[in-house]
Amino acid sequence: MEKKIICTEKAPKAVGPYSQAVEANGFLFISGQIPIDPSTGKVVEGRIKEQTEQVLKNIGAILKEAGLDYKNVVKTTCLLNDMDNFAAMNEVYARYFTSEMPARAAYGVVRLPLGVMVEIECIAVR
């Protein structure tokens, strides 16, 4: 198996023993992204829409670093600290995934890192 680590300064740095993304056998596995602005290293101000926007920008930066874009995404997993935010998150999500939508799972969780409202991970294919 050929494995390549993908890393960009345009997305938040990994803060633990993991990579922003790993490419293996034509698949790109992007670690869960939270709404950290990579230029400040801080969680973005605002509610679920602003946080979802930043998460998807971070994912886009990682995709771009790998030479891919949102159309290459085949699966996402969305974690929300409150399922009441699902519709608002989905509204922002739909602006990034506009055709040939990826498969998706969404879960309500008790708590996310740094107290954020949303985390999204995804798998893309070359």
Predicted confidence (pLDDT) per residue in 62-111, tens digit: 999 999 999 999 999 999 999 999 999 999 999 999 989 999 999 999 99
What number of H helices and E strands is found in the chain? 2, 8
Predicted confidence (pLDDT) per residue in 29-43, tens digit: 999 999 999 999 999
Q: How far apart are CA 34 and CA 25, in angstroms?
A: 26
Predicted confidence (pLDDT) per residue in 104-126, tens digit: 999 999 999 999 999 999 999 99
CA-wise closest residue to 12 among 124, 104, 123, 119: 119
Check pLDDT > 90 for residue 59.
Answer: yes
pTM value?
0.96
Q: Average pLDDT of 2-16? A: 93
- Identify the pLDDT of residue 97: 96
Q: Which residues contact 83 (CB under 8 A, 6 or more apart)?
A: 106, 108
> Which stretches of the chain are DSSP H helices?
48-65, 86-96
Backbone torsion region of residue 101, taken as left when φ is above 0, otherwise alpha when ψ lies between -120 and 50, otherwise beta: beta
